[in-house]
C-alpha cells in the first residue's frame, strides 16, 4: 500500500527537477574532493540515506516559555493532526520515519487505531514517554515528586502510569519506554537526597520488571528544572548508577540540553558507550540551559563531536551499541515543521562530517601525542561542505532537495490555518 502523502508529490518532483543539475555538479565535485582524501562518497551517501531520528510528538506544536506561548497558525490540536505534520516532515526530509509519543498528551481511546493511522502515512512509533511531572484532574499531585515522592500512594500512581505507558507502547508497536522525572527539591535541606534516590530505585524496579523482552527502558538525567536546587537524576553519573542497578535493559538517554553549559557531553557519550549504557539521545541545542533550541542552531561543532564518538563506536563495532535517536525541541518563534526538518539535516550533516574524519590519521596523531595534528584532522572534516551528499541522499530516498522551499510553496501551513481552527484557552507553555 502506498502511504498517504500530505504534500503533492508533483510539487516535490517539480522542485527537484529545477535543482537537479546544480546538485549533480556539486555532488560530482564533492566526490572528487573526497576521493583525494580516500573517502568513497557513495558509501557516505548510503549511510546518510539510512540515518533516522524520531520526531517528538510534542515538537510539532509551538512551545513557549514561562511568560507566554505564541501558537503557530494551524498547529495540530490532537495526536492525529500531529502525525499528519510528522508525515510532512518525513515526506520532504526522509530522515524521520518514527514519532515518539508522550502520554497523556497523546492519549486516545484506541491506540491500535492510532497505530494504523500512523501506518497509513508510512510512519511508526518510537519510545513512549511517560509524564509524571504534571497533574491531571482527580489525581494525586506531583508537586513534590513522583517516582521518588515521600508518599507511597503518589509513587504507586506514578508507577501505574509508567506501566500503562508500556501497555500503550505495546499497542503502538514501540520498543522502548522513556522515563524522565521532574523529582527533586527547591531548597537545601528540603529533601533527603539518599532516601529520594532509594525510593526512585524501588519504584523503577517495579517498572523495569514489566519491560517486555526485546524492549529497553531509557532513563534521562537533567541538571535542574522544574526542581531548581537538586534533581534526583541530576547527571549522567546518577543515571549510569541507576541503570546498572536496574538491569541490562535499562540505558541512559542523553538530552543535550540537560547539562551545565561547558559540560563535555561527547566525553559522557564516550563513557556510556564504553560501558554499554548509551540508550540514545534527545537532540536539541542551547546556549544557557534546557533551551530546547533547534539542533545545531547554536553549537553545531558540539553535535559533530558527539557524532565523532558515535562513528568511532560504529566503526570499531562497540558491543551493545544501538543508540536511539530522537529530537526533543521546543519551537517558540519558528514553524515547528521547518525547525524539525532542519534539525534532522543538522544531524545528518554532523554524521556525514564525522564519517569523513581520517580515522587512521587521527589515531596516529593521538598515539604520538600530536595534539595539533589530531585537532587538525577533526577540523578538516568539520569544514567539509557535505550539503550535496545530504541532498542526494534525501532525493534518492524520495524526498525534496530543498524541503523548506517545497513546504513553503505547498502552503500546507496556510491550509491548516483554516482547516484547524484553534481553541487557545487554557493552553500551557508546553504542548
Ligand atoms: C523534559 C525532558 C523530557 C521531555 C519533557 C517535555 O525537560 O527533556 O524528555 O519529555 O521535557
Ligand atoms: Mn528530553
Ligand atoms: Mn528537556
Tens of pLDDT, residue by residue over 222-273, are 999 999 999 999 999 999 999 999 999 999 999 999 999 999 999 999 999 9
- Looking from the CA of residue 253, the nearest atom of ligand 1 is 9
- Looking from the CA of residue 257, the nearest atom of ligand 1 is 8
Coil/strand/helix, residue 99: strand
In the reported structure, the alpha carbon of residue 256 is separated from the centroid of ligand 2 by a whole-number distance in angstroms of 8
Ligand 1 pocket member 129 (CB < 6 A): yes
* Ligand 1 mutation target, pool 162, 234, 255, 258, most atoms within 8 A of CB: 255
Please tell me the residue having the least CA distance from ligand 1 atom 9.
180
Which residue ranges in the chain fall short of pLDDT 50? Answer: 426, 429, 431
- CA separation for the pair 330, 340 (Å, rounded): 10
Q: Determine the pLDDT at residue 1.
A: 78
In the reported structure, the alpha carbon of residue 123 is separated from the centroid of ligand 2 by a whole-number distance in angstroms of 21
Starting from the CA of residue 257, give the closest ligand. Answer: 3
From start to end of 118-195, where are the E strands? 124-125, 128-130, 176-179, 184-185
- Per DSSP bridges, beta strands 324-327 and 278-283 are parallel
Please tell me the residue having the least CA distance from ligand 1 atom 1.
180
H/E element holding 86? helix 79-93
pLDDT digits (tens, 9 = 90+) for 64-78: 998 999 999 999 999
Q: Determine the pLDDT at residue 424.
A: 61
Q: Computed over its alpha carbons, how large is the radius of gyration of the chain?
A: 22
Q: Look up the pTM and report it.
A: 0.97
Residue in this structure with the C-alpha cell 515538537, named with its chain if needed: 59
Nearest Cα to 365, choosing from 380, 348, 386, 350? 380
Q: Determine the pLDDT at residue 431.
A: 47
Ligand 1 pocket member 220 (CB < 6 A): yes
Ligand 1 pocket member 281 (CB < 6 A): no
* Ligand 1 mutation target, pool 133, 165, 222, most atoms within 8 A of CB: 222
- CA separation for the pair 381, 359 (Å, rounded): 11
Ligand 1 pocket member 290 (CB < 6 A): yes
Q: Determine the pLDDT at residue 422.
A: 84
Coil/strand/helix, residue 418: helix
Nearest Cα to 347, choosing from 330, 325, 332? 325
Q: Determine the pLDDT at residue 425.
A: 52
In the reported structure, the alpha carbon of residue 191 is separated from the centroid of ligand 1 by a whole-number distance in angstroms of 22
- CA separation for the pair 210, 225 (Å, rounded): 28
276 by Cβ neighbours in 10 Å (0-12 / 13-18 / 19+) ranks as: middle
- CA separation for the pair 293, 323 (Å, rounded): 22
- Looking from the CA of residue 102, the nearest atom of ligand 1 is 10
Cell of 255: 538530552
Ligand 1 pocket member 216 (CB < 6 A): no
Starting from the CA of residue 133, give the closest ligand. Answer: 1
* Ligand 1 mutation target, pool 220, 223, 279, most atoms within 8 A of CB: 220
Q: Determine the pLDDT at residue 426.
A: 44
Amino acid at each position: 500500500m502506498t502511504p498517504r502523502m500530505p504534500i503533492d508529490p508533483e510539487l516535490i518532483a517539480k522542485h527537484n527537477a529545477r535543482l537537479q543539475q546544480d546538485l549533480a555538479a556539486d555532488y560530482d565535485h564533492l566526490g572528487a574532493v573526497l576521493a583525494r582524501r580516500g573517502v568513497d562518497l557513495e558509501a557516505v551517501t548510503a549511510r546518510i540515506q539510512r540515518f533516522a531520528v524520531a520526531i517528538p510528538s510534542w515538537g510539532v506544536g509551538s512551545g513557549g516559555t514561562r511568560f507566554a506561548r505564541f501558537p503557530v497558525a494551524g498547529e495540530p490540536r490532537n495526536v492525529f493532526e500531529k502525525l499528519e505534520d510528522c508525515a510532512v516532515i518525513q515526506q520532504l526530509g526522509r530522515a524521520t520515519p518514527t514519532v515518539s509519543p508522550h502520554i497523556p498528551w497523546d492519549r486516545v481511546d484506541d491506540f491500535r487505531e492510532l497505530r494504523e493511522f500512523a501506518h497509513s502515512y508510512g510512519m511508526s512509533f518510537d519510545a513512549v514517554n511517560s509524564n509524571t511531572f504534571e497533574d491531571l484532574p482527580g489525581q494525586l499531585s506531583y508537586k513534590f515528586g513522583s517516582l521518588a515522592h515521600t508518599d507511597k500512594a503518589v509513587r504507586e500512581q506514578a508507577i501505574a502510569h509508567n506501566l500503562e505507558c508500556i501497555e500503550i507502547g505495546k499497542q503502538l508497536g514501540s520498543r522502548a519506554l522513556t522515563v524522565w522525572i521532574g523529582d527533586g527539591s527547591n531548597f537545601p535541606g528540603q529533601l533527603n537526597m539518599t532516601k529520594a534516590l532509594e525510593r526512585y530505585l524501588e519504584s523503577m524496579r517495579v517498572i523495569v520488571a514489566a519491560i517486555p523482552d526485546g524492549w529497553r527502558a531509557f532513563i534521562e538525567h537533567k541538571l535542574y528544572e522544574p526542581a531548581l536546587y537538586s534533581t534526583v537524576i541530576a547527571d549522567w553519573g546518577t543515571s549510569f548508577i541507576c541503570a546498572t542497578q536496574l538491569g541490562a535493559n535499562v540505558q541512559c538517554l542523553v538530552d543535550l540540553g540537560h547539562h551545565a553549559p561547558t559540560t563535555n557531553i561527547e566525553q559522557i557519550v564516550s563513557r556510556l558507550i564504553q560501558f554499554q549504557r548509551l540508550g540514545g539521545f534527545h537532540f536539541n541545542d542551547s546556549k544557557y540551559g534546557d533551551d530546547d533550541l533547534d539542533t545545531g542552531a547554536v553549537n553545531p561543532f558540539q553535535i559533530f563531536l558527539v557524532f565523532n564518538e558515535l562513528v568511532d563506536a560504529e566503526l570499531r563495532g562497540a558491543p551493545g551499541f544501538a543508540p536511539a535517536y530522537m529530537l526533543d525541541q521546543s519551537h517558540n518563534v519558528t514553524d515547528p515543521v521547518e525547525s524539525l526538518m532542519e534539525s534532522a539535516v543538522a544531524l545528518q550533516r554532523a554524521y556525514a562530517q564525522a564519517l569523513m574524519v581520517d580515522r587512521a590519521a587521527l589515531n596516529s596523531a593521538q598515539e604520538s601525542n600530536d595534539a595539533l595534528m589530531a585537532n587538525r584532522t577533526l577540523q578538516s572534516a568539520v569544514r567539509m561542505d557535505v550539503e550535496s551528499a545530504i541532498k542526494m541522499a534525501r532525493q534518492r530516498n524520495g524526498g525534496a532537495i530543498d524541503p523548506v522551499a517545497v513546504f513553503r510553496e505547498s502552503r500546507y501551513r496556510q491550509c491548516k490555518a483554516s482547516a484547524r481552527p484553534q481553541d487557545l484557552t487554557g493552553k500551557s507553555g508546553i504542548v
